Amino acid sequence: MDGRIWLHILIMAAVTYLIRMLPMTLIRREIRSTFLRSFLYYVPFVTLAVMTFPDILHATSGIWSGAAGLAVAVLLAWRGRSLLVVSLCACAAVFLVELLPI
């Protein structure tokens, strides 16, 4: 195995460790800023959305069926439906769009 791979793994581990360790060591008191607290609250949701959004559109055989499933899922989730209903309806929308002869 090439020695460069171990260098890449070491650098990746150091960066990951620093990202997790620095906030705990530099910020020792409670964060009182409402803006910063709300920003930090939404970071995991935004990160998940950014990582999954491109795959949603390209997971099907066509971009239009992925977009239809995404639109149905967003609409139903916005209206407060359960996760099971959202996922089943999004899958149904993808299936129906895939049946269209486009």
Query: What is the reported pLDDT for 1?
Result: 59
Q: Which token pair is 79? A: 């209206």
Helix axes 34-58, 63-78, angle to 10 degrees: 140
The amino acid that residue 22 corresponds to is L
What digits encode the pLDDT tens for the residues 19-41? 888 887 887 788 888 998 888 88
- Domain with 14 in it: 3-99
Q: Which token pair is 99? A: 């049946």
What digits encode the pLDDT tens for the residues 38-53? 888 888 888 888 888 8
- CA dist 74 and 64 (Å) reads 15
What digits encode the pLDDT tens for the residues 52-82? 888 888 888 889 999 999 999 999 999 999 9
pLDDT above 90 (res 91): yes
Counted domains in the chain:
1
The amino acid that residue 30 corresponds to is E
pLDDT above 80 (res 86): yes
Contact 36, 53 (CB under 8 A): no
